[in-house]
Chain A
């Protein structure tokens, strides 16, 4: 991580919104659970990235938690083409949901305890297969940096994809 990386993440999100890309919709509040003192440690604005090197998938993370609140706002925006309309297998053809091309992923919940942070994303469609994928992440808070791994389990297939993520606090 370089010093310019958080700024780059924020700039990427701003650019996405400003130059014709899909404008990130206002995300619904994300519940943040854990002991009050631990939740307080997450207060502030965070920016970072995630990367899944084998798939070549990258994205930006922006996370904001106001002091004293137990809900946050988060944008997890992936780069690259939107997912295809559906899986290539027969099941997904039968249960296909309309593709809307969104590349903003929604956090379901964030849990903190004893310096650990974890959470999960609402199911989204895999970017290669178009199938639903379930993703959760784990990490640790060290001073003003969150860092960890994420795991994505596509509906089709037994493999769990792994990647890394980080976010640095921009301001409290």
Chain B
């Protein structure tokens, strides 16, 4: 395991932040789409929806919190426009996640949950794109210690398939 993770950490220092984030985000979006896929079906049963709710409540929430902490740590380097776009994107993700968890716990809501799952994927992609664009031209070596640590944690999460 250590042998696998070490190169990931090393890449934090040598890649542009945008490149690192795009790789991390590709993995995250693929995993999120895969785990939400059963819930995107209009005929998903209660337990399939429940599984998606648990994923959003635990793993997705933790991962998105890490993303937001990274964005917050980068704030002094970001333009006002980038910060505003990120804030709007984050609000959309959090609100849709909350709606999904509220509706997904109820019976007879498969159609609504299917639509919310697709919306959540769209909003999450928008967040990822906004963060990658906001960090364009930034090198990892220019980041603060906190940002580098958070970026490393995101890479580690991606390396572990979380």
Hey, which bits of chain A sit against chain B, CB under 8 A? 33-34, 89-91, 93-95, 108-109, 111-113, 116-120, 122-123, 132, 134-138, 151, 153, 155, 158
Q: Report the Cα distance A75→B133, complex, angstroms.
A: 31
**Contacting pair B80 A112 (CB below 8 A):** yes
**Contacting pair A134 B84 (CB below 8 A):** no
**Contacting pair A91 B116 (CB below 8 A):** yes
Q: Which of B79-120 contact A (CB under 8 A)?
A: 79-81, 83-85, 87-89, 91-92, 95-96, 99, 102-103, 106, 109, 111-112, 115-116, 119
The residues of A that contact B112 with a CB separation of less than 8 Å are 90-91, 93-95
Q: Main SS of chain B's interface residues?
A: helix
Q: Report the Cα distance A93→B103, complex, angstroms.
A: 11
Q: Report the Cα distance A138→B80, complex, angstroms.
A: 8
Q: Report the Cα distance A89→B113, complex, angstroms.
A: 12
**Contacting pair B115 A91 (CB below 8 A):** yes
Q: Report the Cα distance A117→B75, complex, angstroms.
A: 14
Size of the chain B interface, CB-CB below 8 angstroms: 26
Contacts A153-B88, A155-B92: A95 and B102 contacting too (C-beta < 8 A)?
yes
Hey, which bits of chain B sit against chain A, CB under 8 A? 75, 79-81, 83-85, 87-89, 91-92, 95-96, 99, 102-103, 106, 109, 111-112, 115-116, 119, 122, 126
Q: Report the Cα distance A94→B103, complex, angstroms.
A: 7
The residues of A that contact B87 with a CB separation of less than 8 Å are 108-109, 120, 136
Q: Report the Cα distance A136→B92, complex, angstroms.
A: 12
**Contacting pair B109 A119 (CB below 8 A):** no
Q: Report the Cα distance A136→B90, complex, angstroms.
A: 12
Q: Report the Cα distance A122→B84, complex, angstroms.
A: 11
Q: Least Cβ distance of B52 to chain A in Å?
A: 15
